[in-house]
A and B are shown apart, each in its own frame.
Chain A
Amino acid sequence: MSTQDATAAPPAAGSENYLNCSHGFRSWFFTLDHKRIGVMYLASILSFFLLGGILALLIRTELLTPTRTLMSADDYNKVFTLHGAIMIFLFIIPGIPAALGNFVLPLMLGAKDVALPRLNLASYHLYLVGALIAVLSIVQGGVDAGWTFYAPYSTTTNTAVVTLTFGVFVLGFSSVFTGLNFIVTMHKMRPAGMGWFDMPLMLWALYATSIIQVLATPILGITMVLLIVERVMGIGIFDPALGGDPVLYQHFFWFYSHPAVYIMILPAMGIISEVVSVFSRKHIFGYRAIAYSSIAIAAFSFLVWGHHMFTSGQSELMNMIFSALTFSVSIPSAVKMFNWLSTMYKGSIRFDTPMIYALSFMFLFGIGGLTGLFLGSLATDVHLHDTYFVVAHFHYVMFGGTVIAFLAGLHYWWPKMFGRMYDEKWGRISAIVISVGFNITFFTQFVMGSQGMPRRYYAYVDKFEPYHVISSFGSYLMAAGFFMTAWYLVKSLYRGRPAPVNPWGGGSMEWQAASPPVVHNFTDEPVGGDPYDYANQAYDPALGGYVLRKTEVSDR
């Protein structure tokens, strides 16, 4: 009884938790606590998101007019290269797994930490080193090879390609270590009563993500090594003048980078599975279907890389196989979508900020996924390949999918991470502003793309100007939404109402830890059980959150 009261009560002012247990730079920078590492990751990736976002605004502003607006062609090429590289390698890939995942994974398992805390810290340090090396390339004058570094352009251009690719190489190790750690943690640290199918779906998603991180990232590593060796020593492996094959580079690159988009989207789907169920106050529909579909996506993800190369001259047979396999990967995503919708059916839906983002995710990811059909189909892909249609498609999936889900997760776990509630009204407003701005920005890009506007164009034919102007306007609106979000989130750290233990009524174990949790996560053994069973909770208006029902407690 008494222990339950302790967990249910909001943290008394000044009570010890992982945030205030020790102070100083060293206590953070060399911590082995997964929560602090998660928070450091969060701060780092958000900084790089800001940097990548500023670069995006520069791109959109440059494209306001068909010719020069504010920068030269070379500068534009460097800006879009860095926008891509920073957003992909420094923000999205580590975004959900390393920042949010690091924080919630042990909590969801009811564990004290990840299995290999020192490796976890090493992963963060490698991330910082890799990120700093990557950013160093800006100081060296930037890189203009595009984030895909296609040979032979990347091996011949006179910019800091080696620095950036070496940074990416180091970041790869960071990603591998995070994934490896998560797999070991989920295998070895599950509490006695928790079987694989008792895990929250977020963990299934992180598990699938980790498998891809471990199996695909080494290929990125060796690709970057070969590219660096090619540039520095001229071994000729990708250089046609020396008998090498530049298309081999594309195979290597996409063998990693296609699975990598599932490193980005799978954990996002995990967050949506949690949020939709909790805010509908209904058991997730089709638990096993969602769990299996995560693993299916991870498995299929390794078989579809060739769809990036339909126009590169690979054989018709290869194109046919890759096209067929590409369509197969759309099925598990569709299954997830249907299950989320069915979860809402007959639920009791509350529209807090995380749920607004989740609904927004379903809208945007729906468009992103369906437009993938145009690109998976061979005949239409030939027309749409390397146009703004592709740019719009992957922004709908990566931004409308992953970033929106990241925001859903950030708002969902924010009270747990920092023990404060953010301003709900501003949260909803900015969620809507961001979604509307996003659609204005990128939906126009579908139209101009299918009209033929090629990507990575500094100057463009006059007929595309109206689309670009609308798109740029949307991007400013989106930026406004993000600044609003930053403002109320930072404000909440100082002025926010203290968060109850379980503000949303979540059923997984992190909602039994204090907000914010103590150093070793739980003061008492958390109670296991079905993470999507909400029957044993009751809303307590005095706390503004949910508590376990007294009857359940006394039964124990």
Chain B
Amino acid sequence: MSTPHEGRDEHADPHLQHHFGSMAQQYDSGKFGMWLFLVTEVLLFGGLFCAYAVYRANHPEIFAYAHQFLDKTLGGLNTLVLIVSSLTMAMAVRCAQLGQQRRLKQMLAATLLCACVFLGVKGVEYEHKWKHGLLWGTRYVPQGETAAPAAAETTVETTVAAAVPADGGTTLPHAATGPEGLADRQQADHDGATHGGHGPMGPAPRNVHLFFGIYFVMTGLHGIHVLAGMVAIVWLLRRSAAGEFGPEYFAPVDFVGLYWHLVDLIWIFLFPLLYLIH
């Protein structure tokens, strides 16, 4: 097989791939590709934002009630951490462009550290939810001190859950499955919930678990993206330790930077949508 560099200027940058005419063309192609990739990422999360919008529009009470269980302080802290990490990432790109090898490594390490802190805080939040049974679907069994005000609802939830067999069917009697029948049942449930308890959190509406389902899917997918970003940053650190980046060739740092900013941006949307609802 012929070498990839045949017939080319011997002084060409070793990073220039055979099928491009110039480094500028190569860089532009990579950057354009990266932007398109980010478009697909936005759309991937866009699906979840759609699901969020549909459920919030149909069941605003669930969101108003359930968001109270999220810790605004920890969420705010994480927002701050991610914003700082975006700053350090942007500075890393600049260092790469200016060829400041030492600071490049420092900035990448700082970004990595922020990412670790973010995931650590997220882990604390998840653990808290786990301990208090604030989980998704059938695993939503609120308990413990945070959920204490809502503890009275537990019986309601479990009773209703018992009325809904695991096979997804409904126990509504055949003959009672008129529109009136269902309305009665919902009314009854609602009344039951209202009787069930008025804590500081207010009465629990039906299907609170939907909020936590959406919460875990959105933050979970975001967390996976943070992890992927961390892997990419470690890769950059290794390459920058070898001194590969400089004013002539900084595309990988630039592209990972773009990705990192997007991950940051998604969190900037997630935070108010999940934590700061009114």
Contacts from A to B (Cβ < 8 Å) = 21-22, 27, 106, 111-117, 119, 152, 155-156, 176, 180-181, 183-185, 187-189, 214-215, 217-219, 221-223, 225-226, 229, 233-237, 239-245, 248, 252, 519-520
Contact = CB atoms under 8 A, between A and B. Distances in A.
Given A219-B47, A236-B209, A242 B138 contact: yes
B214 A237 contact: yes
Contact of A519 (B2, B32, B213): B2
Contacts, number: 139
Contact of B217 (A156, A184, A189, A235): A235
Nearest to B212: A235
Contacts of A239: 137, 168
A545 B139 CA distance: 70
Interface of B: 1-2, 17-20, 25, 28-30, 32-33, 36-37, 39-41, 43-48, 50-51, 54-55, 58-59, 136-139, 164, 167-170, 206-207, 209-210, 213-214, 216-217, 221
B25 A188 contact: yes
Contacts of B19: 106, 111-115, 117, 189, 520
Task: Please name the 6 residue pairs, one residue from A and one from B, whose CB atoms are nearest each other, closest first.
Answer: A243-B207, A222-B47, A235-B213, A218-B43, A112-B19, A113-B19
A22 B36 contact: no
Given A226-B47, A235-B136, 9 more contacts: A112-B19, A113-B18, A225-B217, A234-B137, A234-B138, A235-B209, A237-B210, A245-B54, A248-B51
Nearest to A216: B43
A116 B19 CA distance: 9
A64 to B, nearest CB: 35
A242 B213 CA distance: 11
Given A243-B210, A252-B47, A214 B40 contact: yes
Contact of A222 (B44, B54, B136, B210): B44
Given A180-B33, A226-B51, A237-B213, A214 B39 contact: yes
Given A184-B36, A241-B168, A218 B51 contact: no
Contacts of A226: 47-48, 51, 217
Contacts of A214: 36, 39-40
23 contacts: A22-B1, A106-B19, A115-B19, A116-B30, A117-B17, A119-B33, A176-B37, A183-B32, A184-B29, A184-B32, A184-B33, A188-B25, A189-B25, A218-B44, A225-B217, A226-B48, A234-B139, A235-B137, A235-B216, A237-B217, A242-B207, A243-B209, A245-B54
B18 A222 contact: no
Contacts of A113: 18-19
* Most chain B beta carbons < 10 A, residue from A152, A181, A233: A233
B32 A152 contact: no
A27 B50 CA distance: 45
Contacts of B1: 21-22, 27, 519
A455 B28 CA distance: 49
A245 B55 CA distance: 9
Given A184-B29, A222-B47, A112 B137 contact: no
B29 A115 contact: yes
A301 to B, nearest CB: 15
B140 to A, nearest CB: 9
B12 to A, nearest CB: 14
B18 A218 contact: no
A219 B168 CA distance: 26
Contacts of A233: 136-137, 139
Contact of A188 (B28, B40, B209): B28
Contacts of A21: 1-2
A6 to B, nearest CB: 16
A218 B40 contact: yes
B211 to A, nearest CB: 10
A331 to B, nearest CB: 27
A418 to B, nearest CB: 19
A235 B215 CA distance: 10
A234 B206 contact: no
B170 A241 contact: yes
A181 B58 CA distance: 40
B137 A242 contact: yes
A252 B41 CA distance: 16
Contacts of A225: 217, 221
B47 A241 contact: no
A113 B58 CA distance: 50
A241 B29 contact: no
A510 to B, nearest CB: 16
* Most chain B beta carbons < 10 A, residue from A22, A112, A237: A237
A234 B136 contact: yes
Given A188-B32, A241-B168, A218 B210 contact: no
Nearest to A106: B19
A219 B43 contact: yes
Nearest to B209: A236
Nearest to B170: A241
Contact of B32 (A111, A114, A187, A237): A187
Contacts of B37: 176, 180
